[in-house]
Structure 1
């Protein structure tokens, strides 16, 4: 009887353990690629542990008598955040893309439409998210940035849950790495001839209000009524006699752009690559105007650009 109970208990235990094993395996469908990640990270770690070795016959300068290891150093840290939309139809699709070696693309974070955040790389590792691009004098954005991908097909609005999670991730990253507000930008900002993400519905203004990215002063587009006097010819006779002047109230912009203002130079100072000026203007308008995204700067666009230019100086 006792043996029967023990055998029954053993069978139940085995079933439970087997069930737990199956469940644990089914929870994460990326167990195999996670092992690849760990293997690659370990290899990079070993290369950091290795003593730097320079062979005198391979260089054109005299090598010191022995290796001297510095004692004052730390890990390089990211200084930019680049925001993307995935241009795909689901989070699962994007996760699959970023775990398939043949695609040669990745990001540090993926945020789903439901707000769930998937961290795919350690912040200190170099993801392949930015590609060829430039911001200011920085021509290797991947080496100095964190890439955040938002699950979005490229045309739809971003969900409230997604934006809330993004703000949480940015808060964490800004605190952890001391990333300047001005260095939180979009993929289209650094690659204006190739990219248009995040799409025009992305709430850059809300980001700036929370300390992530810059935005222009809202009153820069305000107007005021200004009195202006115009001469009137002597032949103009009003009821009370001859009037030689006429006062008219006109609507004028509150902020005037100086005649010396150079929009091309302003775009360059903000950070845009102006080697293709039309593309740079479109990228600027995608980020800060978010309508009529073309290569023409209206008077209002120029006022916004001038206001931002002064902030970035």
Structure 2
């Protein structure tokens, strides 16, 4: 008798687990026209804390601004921790925008890098990052060029992972949008602001957007245009425009 009850209970629990949530106030007429919410880009952060263990505590509780989390944390020793399921929203992006997307928590995977904000990123950590980027982009079908910084998507508030982060190292492995070795000179009427917007930057604060661009592509913090910026921006814009038709563009939210 007990065995039969156990089997029945297990069957009921299994059925409940496989049934999607439904509103009891409505008649269910299921439509096949839907898909799971999925990440479209990956956002890199740095913890700016003393250790991975301190970061783990914060990411499982809160910081001064409230509760925070990320999908992954990579320690300075290369150890990889997962804190949030990839199909759930981690609270890592905050108020941010990129390429027309406003709710970046819903559209991204957040990866925290154990770093105090002043030190170079370790080789084991970078190797672990490259491995997880290869896994995520392949398994979740995230375009390999859509690896961005927290400072890119929130230029007025954030600067991480900072000027010491080795973006060229990621580019050598095929991740992130990066200028080619010898960028072509832009045409005479080239508009750097338009290119900055095409790349994805929010231009509501132009100086902050230029600082974020410089931090990512020039390892500097200046907010005034520099001589080589136009060539870099033109090359990045051309790379985006030359993506194959099978590469889907960033989806703009619609109501």
Structure 1 53/275 Cα, relative in aligned 2: closer, same or farther at 3 Å? farther
RMSD (CA atoms): 1.9
C-alpha offsets along residues 137-174 of structure 1, whole Å, 9 cap, x if unaligned? 10000001100000001121100000000001111101
Query: Which residue does 1:99 correspond to in 2?
Result: 60
Q: Which of 145, 162, 173 is the matching residue for 1:210?
A: 173
Provide the rounded CA distance (Å) in 2 between the counterparts of 1:75 and 1:298: 43
2:14 aligned with 1:51: no
Q: CA deviation at 1:306?
A: 1.3
Which is greater in Rg? 1
Q: Does 1:177 align with 2:140?
A: yes
Matched residue, 2:239: 311
Aligned match of 1:12: none
Give the C-alpha shift of residue 73 in structure 1. Answer: 4.6
Map Cα deviations across residues 33-77 of structure 1 (whole Å, 9 max, x no partner). xxxxxxxxxxxx97973223556xxxxxxxxxx321134654222
Greater displacement, 274-283 / 203-212: 203-212
- Per the alignment, residue 51 of structure 2 pairs with 90
How has the CA–CA distance of structure 1 residues 260 and 123 changed in structure 2, closer, same or farther, with 3 Å as cutoff? Answer: same
Structure 1 match to 2:203: 274
CA distance in 2, matches of 1:277, 1:307: 20
Work out the CA distance in 1 between the residues paired with 2:24 and 2:223: 52
3-state DSSP class of the match of 2:212?
helix
- Relative to the length of structure 2, the TM-score reads 0.83
Greater share of strand residues, 1 or 2? Answer: 1
For residue 3 of structure 2, what is the aligned residue in structure 1? none
CA distance, structure 1, for counterparts of residue 28 and residue 96 of structure 2: 37
Query: Does 1:188 pair with 2:151?
Result: yes
Q: Distance in 1 between matches of 2:134 and 2:239?
A: 22
Please give the residue correspondences for 1:1-313 in structure 2 after superposition, counting only pairs within 5 Å.
49-53=20-24, 66-71=27-32, 73-100=34-61, 103-220=66-183, 255-291=184-220, 293-313=221-241
Name the CA distance, whole Å, in 1 between partners of 2:150 and 2:43.
6
Higher relative contact order (CA 8 A, sep 6+): 2
What secondary structure, in the 3-state scheme, does the structure 2 residue paired with 1:181 have? coil
Aligned partners of 1:89 and 1:307: how far apart in 2?
38
Give me the whole-angstrom Cα distance separating, in 2, the residues matched to 1:200 and 1:185. 13
SS at match of 2:145: helix
Corresponding residue SS for 1:107: coil
The structural deviation recorded for 1:256 is 2.7
- Unpaired runs of at least 5, structure 1: 1-44, 56-65, 221-254
Instruction: Mark the CA change 1:50 to 1:257 in structure 2 (over 3 Å): closer, same or farther.
Output: closer
Q: 3-state DSSP class of the match of 1:265?
A: helix
Partners in 1 of 2:32 and 2:153 — Cα distance? Answer: 36
2:252: which partner in 1?
none
The alpha-carbon deviation at position 134 of structure 1 amounts to 0.2
Structure 2: gaps of 5 or more residues: 1-15, 242-255
